[in-house]
Amino acid sequence: MRNKFFSKNKKGTDKILSVYWFAILFIVASGIFGMVYVFYNSPFDVREIEGRLMINRVSECISKQGLINPIFLSNIKTSDSSGKSTCSTNEECQKIIGEKIVSIVSAIKPELGISNIDESVRSEGVSENFECLVLQIATHESSMRHCVEFQKDGNPLYCDGNLEEVYKSTGDEKSYGIMQINTAVHDINPENFQEGIIYGVEKVLVQQYEENKAGRLFEPTQKYYSNWKAAIRGYNGWGLKGDNNYVENVIANREFVQTNFPEFCAPGTKIQSEQTKGISDACNLNFKSEFDANQYYVQVDFYNLKDFKTEIKEGKEIISSTLVKTFFDGNENLKSDCEIQEEKIFERQSRCTEGRFYSVDSENNPVIIKITSAVRKTEKNAV
Amino acid sequence: MQCKKAQVAETTTWVVATVIIIFILVVSVYASSGLSKAVKSVNSRDSAAFLKEKNADLLLKQSLFGFLKTKNPEGKIIYLDILEKNQITDEEKNLAKIVFTNINSNGNAIAISINKIQSLLTEKKLSAIGNKRSETIKINANSEIKIIVQN
């Protein structure tokens, strides 16, 4: 009886165990399958190394054995405000000043973060492109002069850095310089030609555009302005003290700049802004990929070593000195991902890589070159 | 009664064993997920296969070329000056400090070496531990200039 009991029980236990082992086998097999699937299902992320390779390739193209290729930057002094060019008549001085304005504005244009900026300015009928819009404002504000006199000893920027000799508006208002920035409202050194232009563009014109592009009523005339017209209106102010026909007056200067700066402002002219001469063409980069949209972006910034400064902001090192020149190519929309990436890296955004190196221009001026590259390709690298 | 106790003990053993097996599997799946992300993120620092020399730094080399092409305060190209004197002057060392600290991060230790005589360009000293990047350019058959950067 006892033997019979044990014998029966043993068979039952064996059956239960074999089912259990089968279940364990299944669980372990599923686990191994899961591990292999998870490991091989995630793609190789080659975006960073692609970005690094692109930086290396561009750096080789820009600088050969320590000398900057003149097609990118022949001489950094041509872009600064040292005012070496001379003029004798007011028109000649306006021409020199206007060319400097175009050079400065085109250098900062990519940093403004407005896509198709030239197209939006043109389609609204205010100017031929963004640089010419700034020329029109400078013409209206100061007749395109930075100093009290159009020139001294042939130098149209003889006053640069000397507030006493910088052109000031008549009356109580403390507006100075080429862009007539009101120092009662804005915290800026107006005696500095380049600083005044950059401030006027970035902190006044573009800021007004961002704030009022949806439209705003100008109460003194009951006119409603939007987009760039609102930005121009904002440049002069929305209060009662300004020029009520400021927008119309600035737009009326379109003809003046077209006549005097046909190389920049003639109908149909699009300033390639010294930036977009096409790095991809110059450096034989192929931006084509299996995707429809452009998957790459590359930007090259030139800084003068003599005034090169960096500062730490929220643990990140940021270059605080003024750009001498910028080139970019590729999909501009990827640039915003680089700005976000400064805070945190998101898997499904394009990956940005940055590199800096040193070189000298044709006149042996020391230059720091920063190259930023962005590679998207998220479909193949991050999904 | 004894038989029931034995059955309970055996069942408990297998239940615990099952839980442990499942736990190990879950951890392994999770680890493989993490591992795949780490291993498959190809970057220039970790991927010696993509670069022939692991510590090669093209931008550093470009900068070293640029530095050698720069004129010193006397108006002489630094390369020619080193070629003549077989050493680097203090002014040139100062320029090297400005150049190489500006192209690298603030926290890096940087040294320049001419014919194996090393001069530190930063307050931070080079350490035996840690990843170093270095680039060398031969000035002539007997002398060379080397720049060393440590993160």
What string of pLDDT tens digits covers the 383 residues of chain A? 445 444 555 566 666 667 888 888 999 999 999 999 988 887 777 888 888 888 988 999 999 888 998 778 765 554 444 444 678 888 888 888 988 888 788 878 877 878 888 889 999 999 998 999 999 999 999 999 999 888 888 888 888 878 888 888 777 678 888 999 888 888 888 888 888 898 999 999 999 999 998 999 998 999 999 999 999 999 998 887 788 999 999 999 999 999 988 888 888 776 655 544 568 777 888 777 777 667 888 889 899 888 888 888 777 778 877 778 888 888 877 877 777 665 566 666 788 888 999 999 888 889 999 999 988 877 666 55
- Report the DSSP beta bridge partners of residue B29: none
Q: Are A232 and A217 in contact (CB under 8 A)?
A: no
pTM of the predicted model as reported, rounded to 2 decimal places: 0.59
Q: Do A38 and B42 make contact, defined as CB atoms within 8 angstroms?
A: no
Residue of A nearest to B26 (CA): A31
- Which of the residues A2, A7, A32, A38 would you substitute to probe the B interface, choosing the one with the greatest number of B C-beta atoms within 10 Å? A38
User: To the nearest whole angstrom, how far is the Cα of B93 from the nearest Cα of chain A?
Assistant: 15
Contacts of A76 in chain B (CB under 8 A): none
State the complex-level ipTM.
0.79
How many Cα neighbours within 13 Å face the side chain of A182?
Answer: 13
Q: Which residue has tokens 């100061």?
A: A142
Q: Do A55 and B59 make contact, defined as CB atoms within 8 angstroms?
A: yes
Which DSSP letter does residue A206 get?
I
Q: What share of chain B is helix, strand, coil (3-state, %, to 5)?
A: 50, 20, 35
Say if B80 is an interface residue toward chain A (CB within 8 Å).
no
Residue of A nearest to B77 (CA): A364
User: What span, in angstroms and rounded, lies between the C-alpha atoms of A220 and A243?
Assistant: 10
Chain centre distance of CA A62? 20
Q: Do A310 and B21 make contact, defined as CB atoms within 8 angstroms?
A: no
The one-letter amino acid code at A19 reads V
Nearest Cβ partner for B103 among A24, A52, A368: A368
- Where do the H-state alpha helices sit in B1-150? 2-40, 58-69, 78-85, 90-103
Six-digit token pair at B66? 């640029």
Chains A and B form CB pairs within 8 A to the count of 121
